[in-house]
Every structure is written in C-alpha cells, then in structure tokens.
Amino acid sequence: MDSFAEAIAALNDMKAAGVVSDYALGGAMALIFWSEPTATFDLDVFVLMEQTGVLISLEPIYKWSRARGYPEEDEHLLISGLPVQVIPAHNELATEAVSHAADMEYAGQPLRVITPEYLIAMYLEDSARTRKRLERVAALLDEGNLDRALLNDLLKRYNLRLPRHEDDTDT
Amino acid sequence: MKTTPIPDAIQTLRTGKRELHAKRVAMSIEDKVRQVVELQKVHVSVIGRRRSLKPLERVWQLRKR
C-alpha cells in the first residue's frame, strides 16, 4: 500500500469511527479521476459532520487525528506524509456533492469522489471562481462524459453560470 | 524568411495532441497519481527557480509499505 492509499484508508477509518458521517475527495485530486492529471500538492476532503449550534466544530477531526499521531501543518493534517485538508461541507451544494459522490477505488481502497458535474458547480461558485478553477471547468467540459442534464439542473438550482464561451449547455 | 504551415502536418500534430490527451485521461488512477508526482517534481524544479516555494509545495513520497 502506498502513501495515497494509506491516506484513503485513514479517511475510511475516520468515517467508520463516526467522526464524520460521510466524506468525498474534491479539488484537483478528484479531477484526476475524471480528467488528466494536474499538478497539486494536497488532498481536499469535504466532510459531512454533525452540527451543534450555529458553527461546525472541527475539534472531533483534530481529536481523532491527534489520537492517531498525524502531525498538523497549518490547516492540513499530514497523513502518511500527504497534506490533507478536511473541509466541512459549508453550504447546500457542497453537502449535496458529498452525498452524491461516486464510489471509486484506488489500490484496493474504496473511496468517495465528487463527480465532475458537482466539481464544476463548486468551481463556479463566486467564492471559488478563480482562473485556475475555470481552467479545470474547461478541462471537465472537454471530456464530454458529463451528465449534462444534471449539470444544467445544478447550474439552475444554484444560480451558477458557465464561463461565457462554454455557456451552451441548454442547447 | 516566411514559412507556410503545411495543413496536413498541422492536422497530424492536432490529431496527435488529441490522442495524447485521450490517453492521459484513460490512464489508470494509479498511473495518474504517479503522474501527479512527476508534475510536482517539474513544478518544484521550475517554480522553485523563480520564487521561494510554499511549505506545501513539496513532492509526495509515495513510498510502498
């Protein structure tokens, strides 16, 4: 088992231990499941967890992580040497993305991965809409294996717009 | 000296590029992760000459146990 598989195994353990109710790989490492590999240095992991009060506390994750001896570096946990950023699903779209994640596998380890339609929608949110992410949107659109009906539905429900030259999904 | 692109040659190059992209998309996920590490090495080498690397910009050690 290599370090990436170990990191995935740890995420599965975190879910099995009830620290989170579900997780899904997002960001550039999710992208490589649907498109070409791209340079990235960390794993973005979106999680669903119990909310007590107005704020979501990451304390259960840090407690679990410290009990397993994972070092922390800024906002990342270092799991088998790989920087992992655990991000609570912060809105309805992210929650839906995690709930509808695809069941995939890496080196025998099962893992949940955000699907391309949801990745596109999340990249198009105002808070995430950077040039780099719009390039990722273009890469995913180029693959042509998208569920266009789902993508259109997400764009409509979450009031999102594709970059202008790609804004042809209704046709 | 002015040169004129040869349409067939350009078309061949474009086709080749499309095929390369398609091959990269179709790689196994294990191979793609290895490619990510190769891209990290390139990034660290090239960007590291232009500016200081951020703490997280380091090549993953995908060691096997």
What's the pLDDT at B65?
Answer: 61
Where does the pLDDT of residue A164 fall: very low under 50, low under 70, confident under 90, or very high at 90 and above?
Answer: confident
ipTM of the complex: 0.84
**With an 8 Å Cβ cutoff, are A2 and B32 in contact?**
no
Token pair belonging to A35 = 């498109």
User: Does A54 reach chain B within 8 Å, measured CB to CB?
Assistant: no
Q: How far lies A70's CA from each of A62, A65, A83, in Å?
A: 9, 5, 10
Query: What are the chain B neighbours of A76 within 8 Å (beta carbons)?
Result: 56
Residue-wise pLDDT tens digits, A100-124: 999 999 999 999 999 999 999 999 9
> Is the Cα dihedral B40, B45, B49, B53 positive or negative?
positive
User: Does A75 reach chain B within 8 Å, measured CB to CB?
Assistant: no
User: Does A69 reach chain B within 8 Å, measured CB to CB?
Assistant: no
Average pLDDT score over residue span A38-46: 95
| Model pTM score | 0.88
**With an 8 Å Cβ cutoff, are A4 and B62 in contact?**
yes
Residue A98 neighbours by CB under 8 Å, 6+ apart: A22, A23, A24, A46, A47, A48, A89, A112, A114
Residue-wise pLDDT tens digits, B2-58: 666 778 888 888 889 888 888 888 999 999 999 999 999 999 999 999 999 998 899
Please count the CA atoms within 13 angstroms of the CA of B43 that sit on its side-chain side: 17
Token pair belonging to A38 = 């791209």
**CA separation for the pair A37, B36 (Å, rounded):** 6
